[in-house]
Chain A
Amino acid sequence: MESKRKETSPSRVPDDLFVPLPKEQQVDTRQQKGDSYWRDVMGRLFSNKLATLGLILIILLSIMAIIGPWLTEHTYRSQSILESNTSPNGTYWFGTDELGRDVFTRVWYGARVSLFIGLAAAVIEFIIGVTYGGISGYRGGRVDNVMMRIVDVLYGLPYLLVVVLLMVVMGPGLFTIIVALSITGWIGMARLVRGQVLQLKSAEYVLASRVLGGSNSRIIRKHLLPNTSGPIIVSMTLTIPSAIFAEAFLSFLGLGVQAPVASWGTMANDALGSFKPVIGGDCFSRPSLYH
């Protein structure tokens, strides 16, 4: 490199006019380390005020879901019939419902159930969807065709019908809801991953790995999945709220978790009865609001 530069510099400028830059002005570009991926991600997250606020809210909500029910001496199922439908006060921070149960305890207990359902649905969707879509996209050809037609058939099933059927067969409950949510929930993920894998598997860096003798599992683990992680994570973050809403919706219809277990959906449903006196009465508004 050095000699080349001399050749190409204009011949009119004699070599002795070139003076080295003083030490303190030299920028040693070699020492600049590339930003590590996670530091980059964290930097971007915290520079976004809304995203930081969201993170804080999620953390607060999770903490309250864990410790919330223990902050009062009431349990989610203990009743005091004499004090039903009270407004928020010293003993009952969010008041009580129709059956005299503490709404504060039930809201956070319900948060546990709802968040658990959301997370479980997302994790199951992740596992089934990524595996199924990954195999389908990676194998390609006939395997892909058959697997995707199965997906199409599943996609065509009316969701509510499947849920009602499952409730009849398995009986209502937390487990049934999770099964119901994940039985069709993974389809979107599978399609997404398949599309990505289909596109990435012919990328030159994948070919390079194969030429180097990389096994299929290595190619999937080191090349395909890391480059698909963006869309997968986005899809998972959208799954969690939609699973929570779906649970609330099913519970609201009476298909979800059964009394006395609380979830945000059942609470909104229970409170509908006491909704008459004041619009926006405490029993109705609290669970809905935190929802």
Chain B
Amino acid sequence: MTAEKLLEVKHLKKHFHVGKNQVLKAVDDISFDIYKGETFGLVGESGCGKSTTGRTIINLYNSSEGHVQFNGQEVAHIRGRKRKEFNQKVQMIFQDPYASLNPRMNVAMCIGEGMDIHKLYPGKKREKRIHELLETVGLQKEHASRYPHEFSGGQRQRIGIARSLAVNPEFIIADEPISALDVSVQAQVVNLMKNLQKEHNLTYLFIAHDLAMVKHISDRIGVMYLGNLVEMTTSEDLYREPLHPYTNILLSAIPVPDPSIEQTRDRIIVKGEVPSPVNPPSGCVFRTRCPEAMDICSQMKPVWQEAKPGHFVACHLYEETSHAR
């Protein structure tokens, strides 16, 4: 990738204070870049900090430490007119289509909200633009006067997409946009997003817990575990030769759409539960469940390093200084 960086996340941390003297490390020192026009997939099981990462990037949460730079600007420090510009350029699609639309507002009001805030499309143009957007996302302009409860989950998600498109964004954070939908509708929404990306030259941060779907849409994928990024590479590479044991386990959990293979294939069954992010394990956070855990894993935190060109991993198995086998 020689394209220019659109978003740079450097050593981002987000810690929440829970109770007295307890800190929940939702995101603990992650770094990645997103290039213009690409789709960056972020996967990991629930509670690993994917959504927190997304929300911290868009400044819904203040980061505890680290930097998020959009087009070279520090996101947390953007104020005033630039802030409005940022709000227009960076948009978000939410997870739950039943909670992301205000039940008291009809579709036109939902979609038009961003245009009203930024005073784009005044007067007659507003209605025209709303109809246009509805058609772009595969709905009809007659739907504009209806209320969210009259739509199905997939349709609502389309309304949510139209809302984020209304302000002509460059970068969209899709926070598990498909995990609340059923499989057939998932494909529709993902394909819609892919088409929109081509038409509007969008960049996506696609957050999901379904590796198969992420592979379908993403150019590069980051795998998260317990607030840490454990592996990051292009989606082909990740499938062809996953390095981190956790990625291996995730990949082996993808079902094969063929019953005879599915019955006989070997799955790596992961032991135990995710440790609490309030009290994470010492050293490598994955060591308590890792099939290949070594002594060093409990003593030292693995370094985030480039194992192969463009292929980053944080694991002692691939550290030259460690006792690699």
Which residues from chain A sit less than 8 Å from chain B, CB to CB?
1, 30-31, 33-34, 37, 203-205, 207-215, 218, 222-223, 226-227
Is A34 in contact with B106, judged by CB distance below 8 angstroms? yes
Chain B 90-116 interface mask (CB, 8 Å, partner A; 1/0): 111011100111111110001001100
Chain A residue with minimal CB distance to B163? A208
Is B147 in contact with A213, judged by CB distance below 8 angstroms? no
Would you list the 4 A-B pairs with minimal beta carbon distance, nearest first? Answer: A213-B87, A34-B146, A204-B100, A30-B142
Is A211 in contact with B105, judged by CB distance below 8 angstroms? no
Chain A residues contacting B147 (CB-CB under 8 Å) are 34, 37
Chain A residues contacting B102 (CB-CB under 8 Å) are 205, 222-223, 226-227
Which residues from chain B sit less than 8 Å from chain A, CB to CB?
55, 58, 60, 83-84, 87-88, 90-92, 94-96, 99-106, 110, 113-114, 117-118, 138, 140, 142-143, 145-147, 150, 160, 163-164, 167
Chain B residue with minimal CB distance to A210? B60
Given known contacts A30-B140, A207-B60, A227-B102, A212 and B113 CB-to-CB distance under 8 angstroms: yes
Is A31 in contact with B142, judged by CB distance below 8 angstroms? yes
Tell me the number of A-to-B contacts counted with CB atoms below 8 Å. Answer: 74
Chain B residues contacting A209 (CB-CB under 8 Å) are 113
Bound complex: CA of A151 vs CA of B118, how far in Å? Answer: 39
Bound complex: CA of A73 vs CA of B146, how far in Å? Answer: 56
Given known contacts A34-B106, A34-B150, A214 and B117 CB-to-CB distance under 8 angstroms: yes
Is A212 in contact with B114, judged by CB distance below 8 angstroms? yes
Chain B residue with minimal CB distance to A35? B147
Bound complex: CA of A137 vs CA of B94, how far in Å? Answer: 23
Of the listed residues A33, A203, A212, A214, the one surrounded by the most CB atoms of chain B closer than 10 A to its CB is A212
Is A204 in contact with B95, judged by CB distance below 8 angstroms? yes
Bound complex: CA of A203 vs CA of B91, how far in Å? Answer: 17
Chain A residues contacting B104 (CB-CB under 8 Å) are 37, 226-227
Q: Is the interface of A mostly helix, strand, loop or mixed?
A: helix
Given known contacts A34-B147, A205-B100, A212 and B167 CB-to-CB distance under 8 angstroms: yes
How far is the CB of B127 from the nearest CB of chain A, in Å?
Answer: 15
Is A205 in contact with B99, judged by CB distance below 8 angstroms? yes
Bound complex: CA of A34 vs CA of B91, how far in Å? Answer: 28
How far is the CB of A119 from the nearest CB of chain B, in Å?
Answer: 26
How far is the CB of B151 from the nearest CB of chain A, in Å?
Answer: 10
How far is the CB of A92 from the nearest CB of chain B, in Å?
Answer: 52
Bound complex: CA of A37 vs CA of B147, how far in Å? Answer: 9
Is A213 in contact with B117, judged by CB distance below 8 angstroms? yes
Chain B residues contacting A203 (CB-CB under 8 Å) are 99
Chain B residues contacting A211 (CB-CB under 8 Å) are 58, 60, 87, 90-92
Known: A207-B94, A208-B92, A212-B167. 18 other contacts (CB 8 A): A31-B142, A33-B145, A33-B146, A37-B104, A204-B94, A205-B101, A205-B110, A208-B113, A208-B160, A210-B60, A211-B58, A211-B90, A211-B92, A212-B87, A213-B114, A213-B118, A226-B104, A227-B104
14 A/B residue pairs, CB under 8 Å, sorted by A:
A30-B143, A34-B145, A37-B104, A37-B147, A204-B100, A205-B101, A207-B100, A209-B113, A211-B87, A213-B88, A213-B114, A215-B117, A222-B102, A226-B105
Is A208 in contact with B100, judged by CB distance below 8 angstroms? yes
Chain B residues contacting A218 (CB-CB under 8 Å) are 117
Bound complex: CA of A210 vs CA of B90, how far in Å? Answer: 12
Chain B residue with minimal CB distance to A205? B102
Bound complex: CA of A91 vs CA of B3, how far in Å? Answer: 96
Is B99 in contact with A204, judged by CB distance below 8 angstroms? yes
Chain B residues contacting A31 (CB-CB under 8 Å) are 142
Bound complex: CA of A214 vs CA of B163, how far in Å? Answer: 13
Is A227 in contact with B103, judged by CB distance below 8 angstroms? yes
Chain A residue with minimal CB distance to B166? A212
How far is the CB of A36 from the nearest CB of chain B, in Å?
Answer: 8
